[in-house]
Amino acid sequence: MVGVPAHRVAVIGDVGGHLDELRAELRRLGADAETGRLPDDLTVVQVGDLVHRGPASAAVIQLVDGYLRTQPAQWVQLVGNHEAQYLREPVFRWPERLDARSARTLRRWWADGLLRVAAWVRDDAGEEFLITHAGLTAEFWRDTLGAPRGAERAATMLNGLIGADDGADNPALFRAGSMLHRRGPVRGAGPLWACTATELLPGWLATPLPFSQVHGHDSLFDWRKRRFRVPGDLARLTVLEDEARHETTALDGGRIIGIDPCHSGEPCGRWAAWETRTRPAQAHPPAQAPPGFGGSGIE
């Protein structure tokens, strides 16, 4: 019997306004060199932080807007803390500010359910991955979501938080951690903000993972200084892939894979998307779903 053809999912880490880097990686993944069109067998998930740092934030937003318009079933856009600056009152100072048109585009994506908090995928070996900007901490998973066992359920619940508490001063979804507050780690920092070394990993050392995770935002390994930001026992659980700038920490119940290339104002050099294979129905949203599929909480 011929099975359903395998489908490729490529998860792209933080872009940081580096249009040329994003374009080059999409071409490597099979996008048409002229038109940029994605091949039919590929779904891209981008983990957020499209903007700031690099030279071309507005053009990155425009490129992604094109994919969301023309190939909406093949581009899943997640929200990062840098996009959130334009969706709510800004919470941190940043030297750059997006132009009004780009900010409006982000707000339209958010209102239309095109900018999500979480995606999920089950690979063809059966391993489930939750994909978010900064990772889902054990405390947020347990206390805010009520400890869902599957990645699909967790993604649906996270996306259901969009708009649910927009009026609140400090809604769980946007709960920042040590990176913003410059104090000790925050138990239950949200999926846009959790610091990998001090807020994401520690909780999962004490709690078996219900599913694996892929995230951007920051890293356990400082790629520039070439040293771990964590003690040796945690570092020893982590395998580095230098060429791709991926770090994989093996824990009880699953693994946590960090894919932030850590671009600064200059691109970092070598990096790559994290790729896996799945069957078309085993990703969120499914490959053929209409735009807005997946219970974002926005009607």
Measured between alpha carbons, how far is residue 46 from residues 79, 92, 97, 196, 206 in Å? 9, 22, 21, 18, 29
* Residue with the shortest CB distance to Mn ion: 217
Considering only the stretches 105-113, 176-184, 212-220, 273-281, report the one whose residues sit in contact with Mn ion under the rule CB under 5 A: 212-220
Contact status: 199 vs Mn ion (CB under 5 A): no
Query: Strand (E) positions, 33-86?
Result: 42-46, 75-78
Residue from 52, 217, 255, 263 binding Mn ion (CB under 5 A):
217
Inter-residue contact 52 to 16 (CB < 8 Å): yes
Return the residues of window 35-54 that contact Mn ion according to CB under 5 A: 49
Nearer to Mn ion, 25 or 49 (CB): 49
Judged by CB under 5 A, which stretch of 36-44, 79-87, 155-163, 265-273 contacts Mn ion?
79-87
- Shortest approach of Mn ion to residue 80 CB, angstroms? 5
**Cα dihedral angle (101, 104, 108, 109), rounded to 10 degrees?**
70
202 near Mn ion (CB under 5 A): no
Comparing CA positions, the residue from 205, 11, 31, 194 lying closest to residue 120 is 11
Q: Which is nearer to Mn ion, 80 or 113 (CB)?
A: 80
Query: Which residue in 43, 81, 144, 249 binds Mn ion (CB under 5 A)?
Result: 81
Does residue 263 bind Mn ion (CB under 5 A)?
Answer: no
Does 185 help bind Mn ion (rule: CB under 5 A)? no
C-alpha span between 40 and 22 (Å, rounded): 19
273, amino acid identity? A
Site for Mn ion contains 215 (CB under 5 A): no
- Report CA-CA distances (Å) from 294 to 1, 135, 152, 158: 31, 19, 10, 11
Q: Interface residues with Mn ion (CB under 5 A)? A: 49, 80-81, 217
